[in-house]
């Protein structure tokens, strides 16, 4: 099948690799061209614009950073909607707003195309190991069409409802992650201060009621003082901002998520916005080194 993929950063790069390995033709575009070099060397086809990707492909995936990037690649002067998309299917993997997902769905429908929002969870490792969880919003028919490709990229995927419901599910996911990241960080700070052996504590906690994905995946990186992304602090702040905006629209107050966002904002103010989210511990440990 002729696929298109726009946005080959931390996540997109690995995902395109799996689609190529599964034997698909993949037309690629990324703002920084160099990030497609390795993929092109492995058989991907470079396109000069998102418009060209869309005109050359049957199913077009996007995995960019922010809602503003999504808007640009769909509606911009070199965007997907600048070409005829009749009969094509558009899939946005970016964590973005439910409203924008609904708008893209409507525009696509008016142009005779299908659109689904399909944000993911599972981190850089999930993308690399093809174990992503994919949260889908849109029509059943489009979901069924794209499902075999989700099977190449992930392990868990479900249609959550109409357009935008994938993004709402991802917000529910991020609200949970806000709790596990702050919990893991304070747990390590406390255990260290109490003079405990951190690898042993993590091992023990992993077998009990405190076991969680953040601890399993990020605490080993903290112990190695590896603060590379992973999942960018700046993207988590974006996600928590969307989650809190959506909660406000629904008349909900989420004090723990609000506090998590405040802590991540402080981290970004200290200059760590391009670190991975495990860098939260730098609010306690100087440069992320335990004393």
Q: Is 36 in the site for ligand NAP (CB under 6 A)?
A: no
Angle between helices 213-223 and 198-206 (to 10 degrees): 170
Contact 269, 261 (CB under 8 A): no
Q: In this structure, how many other beta carbons lie within 10 angstroms of the beta carbon of residue 214?
A: 20
Q: How far apart are CA 32 and CA 230, in angstroms?
A: 19
Contacting ligand NAP (CB under 6 A), which of 73, 113, 130, 188? 73
12 or 288: whose CB is closer to ligand NAP? Answer: 12
Q: Is 101 in the site for ligand NAP (CB under 6 A)?
A: no
Nearest to 214, CA basis, from 196, 230, 238: 230
Nearest to 162, CA basis, from 207, 117, 209: 117
Q: Is 9 in the site for ligand NAP (CB under 6 A)?
A: yes
Location of structure tokens 């959550």: 160
Location of structure tokens 């033709």: 25
62 or 89: whose CB is closer to ligand NAP? Answer: 62
119 or 288: whose CB is closer to ligand NAP? Answer: 119
What residues from 215 to 234 belong to the interface with ligand NAP (CB under 6 A)? Answer: 230-232
Who contacts 16 (Cβ-Cβ below 8 Å, separation ≥6)?
A: 5, 8, 26, 28, 39, 44
Q: In this structure, how many other beta carbons lie within 10 angstroms of the beta carbon of residue 137?
A: 27
Contacting ligand NAP (CB under 6 A), which of 27, 51, 57, 94? 94
Minimum Å gap between C-beta 21 and ligand NAP is 19
Contacting ligand NAP (CB under 6 A), which of 1, 22, 31, 254? 31
Active-site pick, 165, 170, 261, 282: 170
Q: How far apart are CA 15 and CA 153, in angstroms?
A: 6
What residues from 119 to 138 belong to the interface with ligand NAP (CB under 6 A)? Answer: 120-121, 123-124
Q: In the annotation, is 261 catalytic? A: no
31 or 111: whose CB is closer to ligand NAP? Answer: 31
Q: Is 8 in the site for ligand NAP (CB under 6 A)?
A: yes
Q: Is 67 in the site for ligand NAP (CB under 6 A)?
A: no
First to last CA, the chain: 54
- Site for ligand NAP, rule CB under 6 A: 6-12, 30-32, 35, 63-65, 69, 72-73, 94-95, 120-121, 123-124, 230-232, 235, 239
| Residues with catalytic function | 170
């Amino acid at each position: 099948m002729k696929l298109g993929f726009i946005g080959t950063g931390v996540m997109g790069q690995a995902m395109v690799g799996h689609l190529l390995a599964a034997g698909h033709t993949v037309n690629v575009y990324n703002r920084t061209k160099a990030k497609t070099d390795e993929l092109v060397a492995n058989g991907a086809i470079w396109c000069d614009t998102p418009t060209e990707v869309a005109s050359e492909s049957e199913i077009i995936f996007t995995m960019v950073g922010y809602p503003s990037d999504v808007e640009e690649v769909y509606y911009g002067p070199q965007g997907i909607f600048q070409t005829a998309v009749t009969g094509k299917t558009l899939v946005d993997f970016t964590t973005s707003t439910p409203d924008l997902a609904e708008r893209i769905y409507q525009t696509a429908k008016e142009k005779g195309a299908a659109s689904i929002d399909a944000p993911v969870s599972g981190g850089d490792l999930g993308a690399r190991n093809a174990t992503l969880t994919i949260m889908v919003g849109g029509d059943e028919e489009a979901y069924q069409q794209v499902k075999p490709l989700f099977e190449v990229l992930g392990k868990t995927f479900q249609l959550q409802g109409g357009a935008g419901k994938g993004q709402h599910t991802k917000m529910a996911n991020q609200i949970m992650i806000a709790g596990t990241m702050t919990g893991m960080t304070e747990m390590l700070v406390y255990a260290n201060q109490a003079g405990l052996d951190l690898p042993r504590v993590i091992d023990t906690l992993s077998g009990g009621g405190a076991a969680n994905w953040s601890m399993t995946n990020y605490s080993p990186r903290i112990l190695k003082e590896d603060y590379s992304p992973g999942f960018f602090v700046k993207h988590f702040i974006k996600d928590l901002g969307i989650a809190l905006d959506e909660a406000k629209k629904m008349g909900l107050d989420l004090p723990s998520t609000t506090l998590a966002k405040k802590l991540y904002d402080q981290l970004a103010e200290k200059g760590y916005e391009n670190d991975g989210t495990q860098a939260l511990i730098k609010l306690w440990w100087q440069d992320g080194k335990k004393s």
